[in-house]
Amino acid sequence: MTSGLWELVLQGVWVTIQLLVCSALLATAVSFVVGVARTHRLWIVRFLGGFYTEVFRGTSALVMIFWVFFVLPPAFGWQLVPLWAGTLALGLTYGAYGAEIVRGGLGAVDPAQQEGGIALSFSPWQRMRLILLPQAVPEMIPPFSNLLVELLKGTALVSVMGMGDLAFSGNLVRLALQESAEIYTYILLIYFVIAFLLTRVMRGLEKKLKAGVGKAPRTRKTAVPEPAGIEAGLR
């Protein structure tokens, strides 16, 4: 490929990374808000969290992109740029899957930990922040890593809006060169490299969060001299 076509592909990579970061941040926020709501003591909060999860988990991300980009503007009289439309659609959709990860992680914490917080007169927010989340978050990292890779692959859906992401740019290069096998092989390799780097970062984050969890604090062992009177008495 010529330098101009490579530049087009690199611009598509940058757009894909921007979309991935923005939608991942939104999905993370939605995941924790809805996931915690699904464990709330009030049934109405649990119902609303469950309703959101079922709606967005049971609908197509592609149709959600169409809805946000094509249906909402006439209804409300404003138009989202493709980046923010894709971020909103993907973040809300994948956030529903992440909410189930958060709910499962919180439910896996030993109930005795929760009871200990109640015994210490912690408020529900203090129990969540100081007891449940520090133990549950490290266990959430592996499924969140898988979800992040799925989100990366889902960013290709925004090409239907004409957004210049990696998939859209690759298709333009294919039309220019009439070389499908070569171009799409490059695109697959680029997606693989990004996904591989994401899994490495998430694995490092998992190790960092798990470091020290459940370990007793280190203490320096010192020899305690035996009192002279006791030693004399034993003799």
| pLDDT for 234 beyond 80 | no
CB 60 within 8 A of CB 51: no
Token pair, residue 81, equals: 């740029």
**Per-residue confidence (pLDDT) for residue 153, from 0 to 100:** 93
For residues 51-61, give the mean pLDDT.
93
The confidence band for 79, taking pLDDT boundaries of 50, 70 and 90, is confident
Could you tell me what percent of the chain has a pLDDT over 90?
46
Residue 227: pLDDT band with limits 50, 70, 90: very low
Average pLDDT in the 96-103 region?
Answer: 95
- Which pLDDT does position 81 carry in this prediction? 86
Give rounded-to-5 percent helix, strand, coil for the chain: 80, 0, 20
With tokens 């464990």, the residue in question is 39
Q: How confident is the model at residue 1 (pLDDT cuts 50, 70, 90)?
A: low
pLDDT reported for residue 190 = 93
Closest CA to 95 of 156, 17, 151, 159: 151
pLDDT of the residue at 65:
92
**Residue 221 CA to its chain's centroid (Å):** 42
Q: Average pLDDT of the chain?
A: 85
User: What pLDDT sits at residue 223?
Assistant: 47
**Tokens representing residue 72 in the block:** 């909402």
Whether residue 187 contacts residue 170, with contact meaning beta carbons closer than 8 Å, is answered with yes
Average pLDDT over residues 126-152: 91
In eight-state DSSP terms, residue 225 is: P
The Cα–Cα gap between 130 and 128 comes to 6
Give percent of the chain above pLDDT 70. 89
User: Contact 8/169 with Cβ under 8 angstroms?
Assistant: yes
Which of the residue ranges 147-151, 152-156, 206-210 would you say has the lowest mean pLDDT? Answer: 206-210
pLDDT: is 115 or 234 the higher one?
A: 115
Which of 78-87, 88-97, 109-118, 223-232 ranks highest by mean pLDDT?
88-97
Residues 6+ apart with CB under 8 A from 183: 170, 173, 174, 177
